Structures are given as C-alpha cells and as structure tokens.
Amino acid sequence: MSRLFEILGAPLRNKRWSWGAEREDGTIVLRQWSDDLLPHNGEEFFQVLRTTGPASRPLNPGLAERLRHVKRIQSGAPCYIVVVEPEYIDANTKRVRRCDTATIVVTKDIQEVGGYLCVRVIDRVPAESLVPKPRRS
C-alpha cells in the first residue's frame, strides 16, 4: 500500500501510522476502510473523521495528521481515497486485509453526515490515471 501512495505522488510520512498524505499539487490522498462507505440521500460518502461522541482514541500521530488533512480538504484541497479492506482482529481492532491498488475514489467537498465528517464520492478511476506527470526543469 505504501508503494501505491508513492506512485500517486503522496508518500506516507510513516508506513505504520500514516492515514494519508499530501501531494506536491496540494491533493490529499487518504486511506479509508471499505466499511467507512456510507450511502446518504442517494449519494455515497466516505467517513473520514468522527465529530460527535467520545473520541475514538487519544490524539496520536496518525490522528493528528488526519486532522491536518481534513482541514486542508475543508479549505478546498482535492481528495482521493485509497480503499482498504479490513480484517477484524476483535471488536475494536482491525488491520489491512487487502488494498485496492487498481481503483482510486475521487471525492468532492466535505460535510457532516451522521456524526462524521465525510467526503462525497464523485468518481472511481484507474489508479494509473492519477499518477502525477514528471515536472520539467
């Protein structure tokens, strides 16, 4: 999965705890669990951050990074989603079973839906179509 982020021009700061990264062009690329997909009013959304109820966990480097990414999306930064399928270890713990390296979800805007900040899905595109072009000197 970390290789996919590199190919997309958004290398993860830390392969263990990073939940996303930012490309040079300002686009945010997030890793999201497949079960974070939420249908709402005939559209699809990915939950990216809980806004109500108790915090899911104390502030850690991954969550701090996610908060920065969400602020950038709220300020208008484009956002892509790399979808990962979870394997549940127990009720509170999951790990990556599989990463969809072929398809990237393109999103637009961020809004609150059901106690979460969510990005609206507008398209699914082949990953290779989002590889940044080399910069010319």
Place of tokens 């999201």: 32
Give domain limits for the chain: 2-130
Q: So what's the pLDDT on residue 56?
A: 52
pLDDT in tens, 24-46: 999 999 999 999 999 999 999 99
- For the chain, percent of residues with pLDDT exceeding 70: 95
DSSP string, 41-91: TTEEEEEEEE-SSS-SS---HHHHHHHHHHHHHHTT--EEEEEEEEEEEET
Residue at 123: amino acid letter:
D
pLDDT in tens, 7-28: 999 999 998 889 999 999 999 9
pLDDT in tens, 62-81: 889 999 999 999 999 999 99
With residues binned 3-state (H G I as helix, E B as strand, rest as coil), the percentages for the chain, rounded to 5, are 20, 45, 35
Q: Which of 54, 56, 65, 69 is nearest to 110 (CA)?
A: 69
pLDDT in tens, 69-113: 999 999 999 999 999 998 887 777 788 889 999 999 999 999 999
With cut-offs at 50, 70 and 90, classify the pLDDT of residue 137: low
Mean pLDDT across 51-58: 63
pTM value is 0.89
CA distance 22 to 27: 6
Q: So what's the pLDDT on residue 30?
A: 97
Q: So what's the pLDDT on residue 89?
A: 78
- The backbone torsions φ and ψ at residue 71, rounded to the nearest 5 degrees and listed phi first, read -60, -40
Q: So what's the pLDDT on residue 15?
A: 87
CA distance 112 to 118: 6
